[in-house]
Chains A and B, each alone.
Chain A
């Protein structure tokens, strides 16, 4: 077993942790069919000049029409990975193919097939929303009319109708983020690469963006996205890849990832003013027995979630969703 990071100062016993059957190396649970690959990445390595190895031999195939989410703790190498796929960053070694095109040798050609939302990018504040989208539509080879039509559709989809004629500089951070997503959608590209597309959005806007993404996937678009939100990955993805320390440590459907846990029932409870206790059990009955033995009055018992898999694989919890401290119980 690899070393684990404790959640708090409480000593955690190995046997109390959810057990993952195969933690080592990228485990592709549902290999994609080569001929249908929208993205094919082989042995991708990125080493920066200061010696930091951000990606260490990542393989990935994304089928056409599939939505794959990439999860990973901060600094795991998610953005570096996506930036190499979008041709923004030159890999140290390995290969990237976009619909069979060599993304390293022919970046312009590969970018024609992609709509990209970078994690951090600035918008042009002096332009009006409609103007911004229409002008960027022209860069994607759309005629003036097509750019106008595409812009109108996107503005409506992203619920920006009321802001269409406002200057981008007058909009909120969330609205600007939606413009960045809109820029990626222009021209209906067959592949969307979205780096944390809903970061900074309120829950309503986030759901609106999810709907847009799901609609595009239903129309046959392929999507690769990175996210900080477990719920986003669970709700949207056909498959989920987990990156840790520059390596893809697991990839598969949600069910396949959950099946990696041998102890797949999660019991959480709190005793008076203590921290929240978390225990994992192989069966529901075993969990109920523990509750009875310990005479726990208030508890929550549920199937383990992607978050539990994620924690087990990476040793990290999602910071933004884990405000409350918890410890593993000695069950």
Chain B
């Protein structure tokens, strides 16, 4: 069973990482998604409708979440494993779930930081929203849990650091661009459309878009919750401090 004290200690250990490497983190979580927001708006031209602007902003928030949860957290988990730090945790009377929860809290804290910064930038760029703080917080939390579960799975199964980081990098960006986040579903081939609708990033984009209008996308949140349960359950099952 996870212990609150152990979970907080794991979180604090990783928070020191953010203290030391905050710059590169902001670059990943803010600059890329902001650039994508500007790029998508520019492609649509000045006549971009308010609805599209919302979609692009929602897409950029999801992009930021995906980069934080899969690329960055995944990298961290892989580094802990392949640089021998996981071995250090394994010497302690620490439940693997405390370790995972500590990392998850760290990821959620980062995602809130990244999303808030992105909303401020979007506001400065003229985007007007009727933001629902609670719907957005719920969406961020569920999206992060779901995508972080994927990171945990990759970090436990990868045979090498390079294999794992290739996967996290590919999925961090790929899951966003394969979902109808920056473009409408109609622009996709029909077969891919069916699949992409069930990607967590697609559900997250719907939910963020609704949250930006002050609404709850109940169905999308429920699906994200179910996906989070599946991915985290698998991640917890695979995370072992004892080798066979």
- Once the chains are docked, how many angstroms separate the CA of A86 from the CA of B242? 10
| A contact residues around B91 at 8 Å (CB) | 86, 88, 111, 114, 116-118, 121, 183-184
State which of A11-19, A134-142, A230-238, A283-291 sits at the interface with chain B.
A134-142
The contact string, 1 if C-beta is below 8 Å from chain A, for chain B 1-44, is: 00001100100110011011100000000000000000000000
Question: With a CB–CB cut-off of 8 A, which chain B residues contact A83?
Answer: 243
**Is A131 located at the chain interface by the 8 A CB criterion?**
yes
Task: Using known A-B contacts A107-B242, A126-B20, A139-B6, determine if residue A120 contacts B84 with beta carbons closer than 8 Å.
Answer: yes
CA distance A117 to B84 in the complex (A): 12
Is B239 in the interface zone, CB < 8 Å from A? no
Query: Which residue of B has the minimal Cβ distance to A169?
Result: B20
Query: B residues engaging A (CB < 8 A)?
Result: 5-6, 9, 12-13, 16-17, 19-21, 80, 83-85, 87-88, 90-95, 241-244
Q: How far apart are the CA atoms of A109 and B17 in the complex, in Å?
A: 30
Interface of B (DSSP majority class): helix
14 further contact pairs, Cβ within 8 A, besides A121-B88, A138-B5, A180-B88 = A88-B90, A111-B91, A112-B93, A122-B83, A123-B85, A124-B13, A124-B85, A136-B88, A136-B92, A138-B9, A139-B9, A141-B93, A167-B20, A183-B91
Contacts of B88 in A (CB 8 A): 118, 121-123, 136, 180, 183
Chain B residues whose C-beta falls within 8 Å of the C-beta of A140 in the assembled complex: 92-93
Is residue A90 within 8 Å, beta carbon to beta carbon, of the partner chain? yes
Docked CA distance A111–B242 (Å)? 12
Question: Which residues of A sit under 8 angstroms from B12, Cβ to Cβ?
Answer: 135
> CB-CB < 8 A to B90: which residues of A?
88
Of the candidates A90, A121, A124, A141, the one whose C-beta lies within 8 Å of that of B244 is A90
Task: Give the interface size bracket for A toward B.
Answer: 20 to 34
> Shortest beta-carbon distance, B215 to chain A, in Å?
40
A139 to B99, CA, bound (A): 11
Q: Mark A73-88, 1 if CB is under 8 A from B, else 0.
A: 0000000000100111
The 5 closest A-B pairs by CB, nearest first: A122-B84, A116-B91, A122-B83, A126-B20, A122-B85
Q: Which residue of B lies closest to A136 (CB)?
A: B92
Which A residues are CB-close (under 8 A) to B20? 126, 167
Any chain B CB within 8 A of the CB of A211?
no
